[in-house]
Structure formats: structure tokens, C-alpha cells
Copies of this chain bind each other. A is one copy, B any other.
Amino acid sequence: MLTIKDLAKKAGVSYATVSRALNNHPEVNEETRRKIVKLAGDCGYRPNAIAQGLVKKETKTIGLLIPDITNPFYPEIARGVEDAANETGYTVFLCNTNWSVERELNYLTVLKQKQVDGIIIAPIHDFKDHFDLWVKSAVFISRVNFPKYTSILIDNIRGSQMAVEYLINKGHCHIAFIGGQKHIWDNQDRLQGYQQAMAMHNLAINPVYIQNGDFKRESGHVMMKKLLACEAPPSAVFAANDLLALGAIQAINEQGLAIPKDIAVVGFDDIEFASLPEIQLTTVAQPKYDMGKLALLTLIDQIKGGDDILNKKILLEPELVIRKTS
């Protein structure tokens, strides 16, 4: 591996000069700079980012913690993060927590060791106060209970209200909610939006109409089967994400029931596959790619800037996309 010293030897200057030339320090002679830059190009010299990181205490690296890369919602986010990272010179560690708290925690310590400049996280548990021990800069893709950090997310409550009100306006009054893990913020807020919409229209909620599982398709399938098996099955279901909605649709079809005639279904996220002609899922859309991009840019601001940009809460507007399942 070619080092800065090797290059300095070839150029006949001290390696400090090479460093200055390559880092565009103004004090270096224009001619020597050109010579050095040319030489570096010819030799294919690349500064060792690890060594740079050690002295500069900045690694130009961030961590992206998400629960499930397999849910098409997250790849969109990741793509946004990654595109923006690329443009700003950062590289991103992919940390798929797999809905495991242990793994989330473990990743945090690993990322700290690897000296990332910051993290973007869609958390799966409540960090309490331990969090700031681990990272200096972070942006959350979720509501977050401690004020110190920036978060960017869509208005989950509003989105859910829109979805449920739409169903109510369509004449439904037996509307069920199928959700993911109870403790996940997104789930709580979407449940709350559902409850508020029902309350605003003086609609009672049958307790069995509120189901919680996890955010995967199979879980939607299971919960919907339960709903279908109860004495008074709902005439509509609001699912806390599209994967759950897809699972619910499957259960409904297996029962021989028609969508939306017998049961209407509305999802959340608007993953790409929701728009397939065969699916045509009505759902609450999130600007996933833009959220990813924004998260990264906000994080960079925070890394660069200092305290004044902390504690920003960026709330984006959801959009109800009406298709054929409702």
C-alpha cells in the first residue's frame, strides 16, 4: 500500500507538504501542488481514511439502523439516505436490527467503536436516557420521547385519521385495527389516530377489533383470520402498514370474501407493491425516499453545526392514496 511518505519521497518533498497539497491548503506553492496532485493521480494514491479518521476525529461514516430491510418501506428510506450520503461524501453502515432490541443495542456500541459521525435510526425500543452515552449526533425516523434529538417522521395520527375517516364516510362503522408491536411508536400513534377518528364520529370500538402482532405480512394474515372468526367480523380494516394489509387481504380472500365489497382494507406506507394493478391497495403514503434524504442532510447539519439544530421535530404530511381495496 502506497503511503503518503512513499509519495513524498517520489516527489522529493516532505510528507507534510504532500498532505497540504492534497488537502488544498492555501499556503502551498501552486507549482508543487500541481506536481504532487499529478503524481498522486498517476500512482493511484488514496489517503488512508482510517489514519485520517484517527487524527481528525471524524470518519465521514454514519450508521443507519432499521428494523427490517425486507420491508420495502426501508429500502426506499435507505436509498434516500444513501443518495444524499454519496453526494456529501459519507458512507453508511447498514444495520438491520431485525426487530431485536439486543441487536439494536449491540449495533449502537459497535457504531460507537467504529467512530461513526452520527446515526439515523428507526428505533424499536425506548432508549430512556442511556442513549446519549453512545452517540453524539443522531436523527430519529420516528417519534421520540427525549427532546435532545432531532426526529423526522410523518404525522402518523393525522394519517390514520384520514384513513379511518375515509372508511367512515364510505359508510363503515365496524372498523378494525390491525397493528404491529404494541410498544413501537408508529404503532401507538396509528392506533391513536384510529381511535380518535372513531371517537369523533361517535363510533364505539369493539375491543376485539384492536389486534396487535408484528409488522410482517404473516402477522396480518393471522390477525385477520382472528377477526374473521369472531362473532361480528368488521366491514373494514385499517392496517398499520402495507405488509399487514397484504396479509389481511390474503385472509379475506381465503375466506371467499370480496374486497372491498365484503370487507374494505386500508394500509399504511404506500410501498411500491401497493400500487400493482393486482393489488391496488388504498393506503396512507409516506415520502419515503425524501425522508431518507432529509434525514441524512439533517444529520450532517447536526454533525457540522452544533447544538442549535438539535431538537428539531420535522413533521411531514401523509397523503391518502385511494385505490381499489376500499
User: Which residues of A come within 8 Å of B, CB atoms?
Assistant: 44, 46-51, 53-54, 59, 61, 64, 69-70, 72, 74-76, 78-79, 82-83, 86, 91-96, 98, 103, 109-115, 133, 217, 246, 249-250, 253-254, 272-273, 276-279
Contacts and interface: CB of A to CB of B under 8 A. Distances in A.
8 contacts: A46-B109, A70-B79, A82-B94, A82-B95, A91-B93, A91-B114, A93-B94, A250-B276
A59 B78 CA distance: 23
A92 B91 contact: no
A276 B246 contact: yes
B109 A96 contact: no
Nearest to A289: B70
A51 B70 CA distance: 34
A59 B59 CA distance: 13
B115 A94 contact: no
Number of copies: 2
A109 B64 CA distance: 21
Nearest to A46: B113
Contacts of A254: 277
Contact of A82 (B50, B96, B246, B253): B96
Given A94-B82, A249-B278, A278-B278, A272 B46 contact: no
Sort A-B residue pairs by CB-CB distance and give the 5 closest, nearest first: A94-B94, A278-B278, A49-B113, A69-B75, A49-B114
Nearest to A109: B46
Contacts of A69: 69, 75, 78-79, 82
A274 to B, nearest CB: 10
B93 A93 contact: yes
A61 B94 contact: no
A250 B276 CA distance: 8
A96 B78 CA distance: 9
Contacts of A51: 54
Nearest to A93: B91
A44 B93 contact: no
A54 B50 CA distance: 6
Contact of A94 (B49, B64, B109, B246): B64
Contacts of A253: 277-278
Nearest to A103: B86
Interface centre among A76, A79, A249 (most CB of B within 10 A): A79
Nearest to A112: B46
A299 to B, nearest CB: 15
Contacts of A86: 103
A103 to B, nearest CB: 7
Contact of A114 (B61, B64, B277, B279): B61
Given A61-B114, A82-B95, 7 more contacts: A48-B113, A49-B114, A50-B53, A70-B272, A83-B96, A249-B278, A250-B276
A216 B92 CA distance: 24
Contacts of A98: 79, 83
A83 B64 CA distance: 15
Contacts of A246: 276
